[in-house]
Structure 1
Amino acid sequence: DAVGDAEFATYNVGTRTPPLVEENEALLREEVGLDADAGEPFNSEFNREVGKRVGRLTDTEVSFDRPDVQFTIDLADDSVDAKVNSTFVYGRYRKLKRDIPQTEWPCRECNGSGRQGADPCDHCGGSGYLYDDSVEEYTAPVVEDVMDGTEATFHGAGREDVDALMLGTGRPFVIEVEEPRRRRVDTDRLQSDINAFADGAVEVEGLRLATYDMVERVKEHDASKRYRAEVAFDADVDVDALADAL
């Protein structure tokens, strides 16, 4: 009941033990002449035994690294708290139209509120943003909706200039979805959904489910860029003179 209908494949169980239980453990060891660290603490055994039952009931596996769900049992309150950890989707994007920032760009004049006092902000036209669209807005909401999460965050490997296209093999990115209710999604279909929603402004490819460490890998990625520009001259240019000038 604590996790509701959220999908998960891995879990871990932790326990908040009342201080009296810990004190009684220490007194018992002292009374029978055992070392303070002898035997297994109540906390550890309780976590293990409850964890076994959770695994059997949900057909999932325990994980001590970064589980999909972290259950915390409070024995004093007789309650269970479930923290649904984020899930991640990795891919590459190409930006096929200019004047689209990678992420939302709040207006600096109104701090994203869209207002200057009682009036709409003159700088952003009342939208709160300097640009109507972004790569983030074309991708993250679709992933959040499909995975039924509460919020989505876009992590990119560097960024290109707003007025530049992003072509070639594309730029790596990860979208982090908080508290997802769905984890097992068809990434091919998700990719098609994003591309349809972006309608030619942005294109993604290579979408796949990822892990938490992929965020750090993307942020540390060598995001060097190569620009291609078309230059127009108003008169004929001598090739040798141009080479010397460069």
Structure 2
Amino acid sequence: MTAKPVLEASNIGLRYPGESHGVLQSFDFVLGAGETISILGSSGVGKSSLLRVLAGLQQPTDGIVRMNGVPLHGMNPRVSIAFQDPSLLPWLSLERNVAFGLSFKRQPHLSREESRARVDAAINAVGLSHARRLFPDQLSGGMAQRTALARCLARKPEILLLDEPFGALDEVTRSEMQHLLLKIVHDSRTAAVLITHDIDEALLVSDRLLLLGGAPAHQIGEWTIDLAKPREDYVAELGAIRVEILTTLRNAARRN
């Protein structure tokens, strides 16, 4: 990774009161500008806890997170996060859901014209300009998740954090959302971290892939995916990496 680091985690550990062992231990991480990293691991291993630490939502017990070299102590307005649940406000239209949060205290002050321009650009980027007046109960699952992505994009983030945002979608819609993510990252040059338990998804969208395992969780593998995107035609190459990942996961499970 040669791009300028935008997010760094050094020796991260996380323990909750009363636990016999920690959730995370000795985790190091560097995200470069414009880079997409997937963090992969089995359910319950601590992926979402790690993302909360990287987002500034959870302070680590040990170690430090830095954004552009500055210690991160809480959410930064240049970081946007999306979850599996789109969490749209049912009483607001699609466009007002996308605009929600732009006027929050920690966000940069925007004029009405600037805010409208950001919302319009974000809605267009996810292909929902035809549905801007609809309400959440009128949206399909894929449209709701696109709206959640647009809400993130309206903030013009430097870093986009995604916690299994496509996990509840059907296979076709999930594939469409993965391609949309590739386009968004390419067009905006936003750095992205994707939390997922889906190996194929990680292989399709990532520049690098980190594997979490153990208890407490720590990095047990890393792969650089040096293949052009989209990658559906690289069946043999991705298949070989998939086998390596599965083998590493099985070996980690046996040790535990």
Q: Which has the larger radius of gyration?
A: 1
Say which structure, 1 or 2, has more relative contact order (CA 8 Å, 6+ apart): 2
TM-score (norm 1): 0.24
Query: Which one has a larger percent helix, Structure 1 or Structure 2?
Result: 2
TM superposition score normalised by structure 2: 0.23
